[in-house]
Structure 1
């Protein structure tokens, strides 16, 4: 997936027409095809560096997936720099970190209903020990329980260089890597992919952000998902 230069997905794409929504629909179709073939339900989104548009892209992808009638849960697993609640303009008083810290919380607290098919779980209070918190056995238990309720679960995670992402990825079925063209070098991407391979993380695909193509009318989103 590619977004043209000088443009960023800063918020939700609500317009159903145009090349950008169409490319999101193309990516949605690819994910659904691969997911059915490989029995994938829980997908982590990460990046090689901070600030590559990861959170906005996965938020829009979750939204477009729900528009196809799929039951979708988007979880903000970036406990260091959470942004999903800002994108959807939600409160963040209770969320994932609170559920992981205190089992007394209802497992559905922190989940906000966005539309008929899309729910969003915010990050909750920023913990001082995110890696240790995510390592707790409660996270895979939560994901397993949510898998019974949803067709797809997307987890927005920190860049792959942080241990948080490695931990989350091992609880997910597959991982999407989102990168910004011109910011992430080929060497950095190669290192990112190699790190995933060393950790036995299944890479579902790579989404490239902010790429300009020279062909007329080709400044649109591409998907680079593995077939």
Structure 2
């Protein structure tokens, strides 16, 4: 049985699967290439699993352009990447956070999953080892894509944004202009520029 993300990319009917049309995601990934970010974040205003799926689709689209990509789970309170790829969450007792990289079905696309420990995510993002991992990943991969928590997660999204140059923002039609401006201001304060927007249906 294929995983949801594998079905989107390898399935015959890409028009009706996934959060958005995969051809549209290819267009977004080509825009990413023009900006040449080495570390890119995907986040949203409301919380939801769609961010993980969109980050996975974006990472896959970049890989299909011949790049080597690492997709990192940044929402440790509500992780979803393991579900989209049909993987087991690492055991937090035996796995150091962010250390283990898992290959996916798509050559060139690897993933770092949240482990099922009870540790606080904020402690991970504040740790020196997080920055060390970012530096190491940049040496190994052409692109690092972070699937980040939402604006409403508080400071966690801002901490991740500080390690990214650019961001793709996931919005819903019902999102308020005030909230959109607020998240854009927070991202720009962290030095992270919005280069693309995906409107979730």
Whether the TM-score (by the shorter chain) exceeds 0.5 is yes
Correspondence list, 1:54-203, <5 A: 54-94=51-91, 98-100=95-97, 107=99, 109-161=100-152, 162-182=154-174, 184-203=175-194
Larger Rg, first or second structure (1 or 2): 1
What's the CA shift for 1:18?
5.5
CA contact (8 A) 1:79 1:127 kept: no
Runs of 5+ unmatched residues, structure 2: 16-20
Higher share in helix: 2
How far apart, CA to CA, are the structure 2 residues paired with 1:47 and 1:146?
24
CA distance in 2, matches of 1:94, 1:139: 19
CA deviation after TM superposition for structure 1 residue 100, in Å: 3.8
Contact 2:45/2:170 (<8 A) preserved: yes
Q: Indicate the RMSD between aligned Cα atoms, in angstroms.
A: 2.3
What CA distance in whole angstroms lies between the structure 1 residues aligned with 2:149 and 2:107?
A: 28
The structure 1 segments of at least 4 consecutive aligned residues displaced by more than 3 Å after TM superposition are: 15-19
| 2: CA distance, partners of 1:128 / 1:204 | 32
TM-score (normalised: structure 2): 0.84
Deviation of 1:160 (Å): 2.3
Per the TM alignment, residue 202 of structure 1 is displaced from its structure 2 partner at its CA by 2.3
- Give the number of aligned pairs: 189
Specify which structure has the bigger relative contact order, considering alpha-carbon pairs within 8 angstroms and separated by 6 or more residues: 1
How far apart, in 1, do the equivalents of 2:149 and 2:26 lie? 25
